[in-house]
Amino acid sequence: MTKYVAAIDQGTTSTRFIVFDHGGNVIAVDQKEHQQIYPKPGWVEHDALEIWARTQEVINWALKVRGLQSADIVAIGITNQRETTVVWDKNTGKPIYNAIVWQDTRTDVTINQLTKQGGQDLFRSKTGLPLATYFSGPKIKWILDNVPDARAKAENGELLFGNIDTWIIWNLIGREAHITDVTNASRTMLMDLSTLDWDAEILSALDIPRAMLPRIKSSSEIYGHVGAKSSHPSLGRKTLPLQGIPVAGDLGDQHSALFGQTCFNAGEAKNTYGTGCFMLMNTGENPVSSKAGLLTTLGYKIGGQKAVYALEGSIAITGALIQWLRDNLGLIQSSAEVEALAESVKDNGGIYFVPAFSGLYAPYWKSDARGAIVGLTRYVNKGHIARAALEATAYQTREVLDAMESDSGVKLTSLKVDGGMVFNELLMQFQSDILNVPVVRPKVAETTALGAAYAAGLAVGFWKDFDELKTNWGRDKEWQPAMDANMRKKLYSGWKKAVTRTFDWVE
């Protein structure tokens, strides 16, 4: 009987369940979106119960369409939107507040207070992260400080925290599985990169009880097996699919994409184009401190092997900008239409679109920045706006790549890419042009889910080692730079000028 490995890919806008064969090929997939909740400007929330419901739905549907049974699946891996924060009652299983999404900026007051105490790098020597609204720790503090009775319940041991991976695993396996992996833990701003454990000093500074935090595990080991029922049967959830199957892989989405792209050697890098854009470079078994505005983070940790670290450049808004053109402005009916609209003009018409909707992440880390379209004249039409929106992704990626080369001393010779936007030919060609390096898309573009599947498969022996995984990677398409050097310099100079116009907007 043919066996498969599956992955739950819980992202910012949707949840997917994907089944892979031994060659890393997609056998079955289903995907469902969930609601984006915007209670106030700068606030972004999700309904964690809706996400759990969508997770069960996509598992059931993908298996049904393909005619697969639980016995066909040997292991499940989890990958997830990082930093999105859920706090729930461990007795009822009900969240005490909506999940606060990674893009949310409501913790800026806490960040400003901490910055005044010790500067933006107050915790960077331990966590590899600057002080920013991006990370989970300040979000936990906000919930404890603002939800009635939350702090008292947390101190009494009644509440649990998790990023979305922890929430999904707890519901899949049962109450004994309150865990996370090193990659997700490294995004909370609460974990020491050297000890791979929660840091008492930072927990004290943010007034977060350690008892509500999950146990930190490796990215590839058997955490437990799918239970018969949800961890909160009072909510009326159906019997869980895939009962008894080991849950054996857990990586934050960008780390999972690094792993799925088989970037196993120091100096290898990938860029994922999704809601945001995230470039990671493997730096080996020692963390590299950034002097150019990047994050030092975990790459992955396989079982009892040493942890592998990475440098990361995080961009908040890329694919989300195309969704904004669709949902807020109505310029397009579907995200796929943006390419044709952008191609209706020969250039950007002299405009730049800086999508600092949630402030600016790498390499600036300015939470007080806000979005801007600059260079507008009456000549500009919706085609120019669409083109500038796509180009914004490429320019932001160039800024991150420049910082990565500065920190690592490694000049990239090509960039591996993945994510939904890599099928936009106009964007990928412009990306290659503005970077002046080849851009390479793999045969299996679902590398985020594939990385989680690889981690789970390694844990149960479905794949024996990294060499076997590397044989699965193959080139699908490559874009070569074709832009004149002077034009590249002129366009990028205009972008750098435009970015400065967004600084210090919020008083």
Cβ atoms of 428 and 479 closer than 8 Å: yes
Would you say 391 and 348 are in contact if contact means Cβ atoms under 8 Å apart? yes
- Measured CA to CA, the distance from residue 76 to residue 78 in angstroms comes to 7
Would you give the distance in Å from CA 389 to the centre of its chain? 20
**Contact in structure between 186 and 218 (CB atoms under 8 Å):** no
**280: amino acid identity, one letter:** L
Note down pLDDT in tens along the chain; length 507 residues. Answer: 689 999 999 999 899 999 999 999 999 999 999 999 999 988 999 999 999 999 999 999 999 988 988 889 999 999 999 999 999 999 999 999 999 999 899 999 999 999 999 888 899 999 999 898 989 999 999 999 999 999 999 999 999 999 999 999 999 998 889 999 999 999 999 999 999 999 999 999 999 999 999 999 999 999 999 986 655 555 545 577 888 999 999 999 999 999 999 999 888 889 989 888 889 989 899 898 888 889 999 999 999 999 999 999 888 888 889 999 999 999 999 989 999 999 999 999 999 999 999 889 888 988 889 999 999 999 999 999 999 999 999 999 999 999 988 888 878 888 899 888 899 999 999 999 999 999 999 888 788 999 999 999 999 999 999 999 999 888 899 999 999 999 999 999 999 999 999 998 987
What proportions of the chain, in percent to the nearest 5, are helix, strand and coil? 35, 25, 40
Bridge partner list, 29: 18
d(C-alpha 347, C-alpha 64), whole Å: 46
Tell how many helices (H) and how many strands (E) occur in the chain: 16, 23
Task: Write down the residue that tokens 């997700």 correspond to.
Answer: 184
> Which residue in the block uniquely carries the two structure tokens 């319940």?
153
Of 103, 5, 94, 14, the C-alpha closest to 51 is 14
β-pairing verdict for 191-192 and 415-418: unpaired
As a whole number of angstroms, the distance between CA 354 and CA 374 comes to 8
**For residues 132 and 111, is the Cβ–Cβ distance under 8 A?**
yes
CB neighbours of residue 233 within 10 Å:
11
Does residue 16 sit in helix, strand or coil? strand
Return the pLDDT at 276: 84
DSSP, collapsed to helix, strand or coil, labels residue 301 as coil
- SS3 of residue 150 by DSSP: helix
Q: Say if CB 200 and CB 42 are below 8 A apart.
A: no
User: Could you give the residue ranges of the DSSP H alpha helices within 270-424?
Assistant: 319-324, 338-342, 382-408
In sequence order, the 6+-apart residues with CB closer than 8 A to the CB of 378 are: none
Q: Are residues 469 and 457 in contact, defined by beta-carbon separation less than 8 angstroms?
A: no
CA atoms in the 13 A half-sphere facing the CB of 307: 25
Burial category of 200 from C-beta neighbours within 10 Å (exposed 0-12, middle 13-18, buried 19 and up): exposed
pLDDT digits (tens, 9 = 90+) for 169-184: 999 998 889 999 999 9
Identify the H or E element spanning 331: none
How far apart CA 354 and CA 396 sit, in angstroms, is 9
**What does residue 118 show for φ and ψ, rounded to 5 degrees?**
-150, 15
* Backbone phi and psi for residue 269, each to the nearest 5 degrees, phi listed first: -140, 160
Taking residue 409's Cβ as centre, other Cβ atoms within 10 Å add up to 8
The edge-to-edge listing of strands for the beta sheet with 246-252 is 26-33, 14-20, 4-10, 73-80, 246-252, 220-225
With CA atoms as reference, report the closest residue to 236 among 344, 127, 117, 94: 94
Task: Identify the burial level of 173 via C-beta atoms within 10 angstroms of its C-beta, where 0-12 means exposed, 13-18 middle and 19 or more buried.
Answer: buried
Over residues 132-182, the pLDDT tens digits come to: 898 999 999 999 999 999 999 999 999 999 999 999 999 999 888 999 999
For every residue of 281-297, DSSP letters joined together read: EEEETS----SSSPEEE
